Amino acid sequence: MQHIIDRFISYVTIDTESDPNSETTPSTKKQWDLANKLVDELKAIGLSDVSIDENAYIMATLPSNVDHAVPTIGFISHFDTSPDFTGANIKPQIVKDYDGKDIILNATENIVLSPDYFEDLLMYKGQTLITTDGTTLLGADDKAGITEIVTAMEHLINHPEIKHGTIKVGFTPDEEIGRGAHKFDVEKFGADWAYTMDGSQVGELEYENFNAAGAKITVKGKIVHPGYAKGKMINSMYYASEFINSLPRTETPEHTEGYEGFFHLHNIEGDVEKTMLQYIIRDHDKDKFEARKALMQKIVDDLNTKYESEVFKLELKDQYFNMKEKVEPVMQIVDIAEAAMKAVGIAPLIKAIRGGTDGSQLSYMGLPCPNIFAGGHNFHGRYEYVPVESMQKAVEVIVKIAELTAVSSEQ
């Protein structure tokens, strides 16, 4: 267990925050720091064909150790962290034998991780937790996944008695800003299917995710001296609030769960002359997803008609789609993962992702790619934590998937 802790901490203490406003890949130079470390580590544990391209996409191979044909499978994680909350100067804290009570993350700032608010903590009573110090995120999304993949490959190399086919490893930049799979070379990767290790609580197994789009609404105003503004000033911020209030108030992330979609206003910038609203649009159902985009356009059109001017401008961009369509024809890959979990004593929690992963895009690029738990909770913020036992179980699942794929191919 200490080996996993040490590896994980060595990753999360390297700042790899991505930047949605950058046009480069990776979007931040500091992502190279961990990328280059991972290349060295993959070589050191004995993987073959270790490579990193000009965009920091890492690939490596564990050759088959059986003499019969086995499908080539892959395991993929991303090494960037979310720009939603700082990932610089992370100081992980180790909580051994968690007692089920409040965890003081930062006494000076009175930041507390409490099971009264985060009930999932009680699932891990008696286990070892890794938390933040309350001032940064942790980076378990998705450095827990990387830790698990590297550790599983190391275990398979050190235990040749465990039979497996060819296994591919892939690590990507910029997943947190929706670009993780954009420059992923599926043909070079060479897997028949893969799994992203990018889920949350232990047992999660997902092959459905949101359809996703981004929307930017630009609202034009007109600045006039406020003392002489009657009938002349157009305050774009008031007009923007009218757009906001035209969307269903309860169809937002804080009011929805399960398969319910939403509109999420995540950024506002504005003054009298110009206000910009940025939304993400999410829905598992394709028809409802299209209806959400159409509703935004209708509101813009209606408001422009009301004010007899092109006050509102909408820009919509699809981001990714529900992988279910691509995975269902090859459901045996989900069945193998489910069987692997059961074999190592985990009750599979098959559910839809209220988000997306590299796997959703990769599935549409020809690499079916369900998602498996990495163990972390409360991603993208100061209350993020990961149980070490969950990471250990994820390692066991990876190893068992490799073994079951080889065994099933022999029969």
Q: Which residues are annotated as a binding site for Zn(2+)?
A: 78, 141, 176, 198, 380
Measure the CA–CA gap between 99 and 324, rounded to whole angstroms: 39
DSSP 323-349: THHHHGGGTHHHHHHHHHHHHTT---E
Tell me which H or E stretch contains 312. strand 312-320
Which are the contacts of 286, defined by CB distance < 8 A and separation ≥ 6?
211, 321, 322
Among the listed residues 291, 294, 296, the one whose alpha carbon sits nearest the alpha carbon of residue 279: 296
Number of Cβ within a 10 Å radius of residue 411 = 5
Tell me which H or E stretch contains 151. helix 140-158
Say if residues 133 and 151 touch (Cβ distance below 8 Å): no
Residue numbers belonging to the annotated binding site? 78, 141, 176, 198, 380
Cα–Cα–Cα angle for 362, 385, 260, rounded to 5 degrees: 55
Q: Pick the catalytic residue from 15, 19, 80, 358.
A: 80
Determine the 3-state secondary structure of 168 from DSSP. Answer: strand
Q: Write the DSSP symbol of residue 108.
A: T
Bridge-based pairing of strands 58-62 and 48-52 is antiparallel
SS3 string of 345-396? Answer: CCCCEEEECCCCCHHHHHHHCCCCCCEEECCCECCCCCCCEEEHHHHHHHHH
Say if residues 292 and 281 touch (Cβ distance below 8 Å): yes
Number of Cβ within a 10 Å radius of residue 361 = 23
The question of whether 396 is a catalytic residue gets the answer no
The question of whether 17 is a catalytic residue gets the answer no
Among the listed residues 209, 242, 233, the one whose alpha carbon sits nearest the alpha carbon of residue 352: 209
Measure the CA–CA gap between 146 and 16, rounded to whole angstroms: 13
Task: Determine whether 34 is exposed, middle or buried from the number of CB atoms within 10 Å of its CB (0-12, 13-18, 19+).
Answer: buried
Handedness of CA 139, 361, 294, 21 (dihedral sign): positive
Q: Pick the catalytic residue from 142, 174, 175, 396.
A: 175
Which are the contacts of 160, defined by CB distance < 8 A and separation ≥ 6?
65
- Which residues carry out catalysis? 80, 175
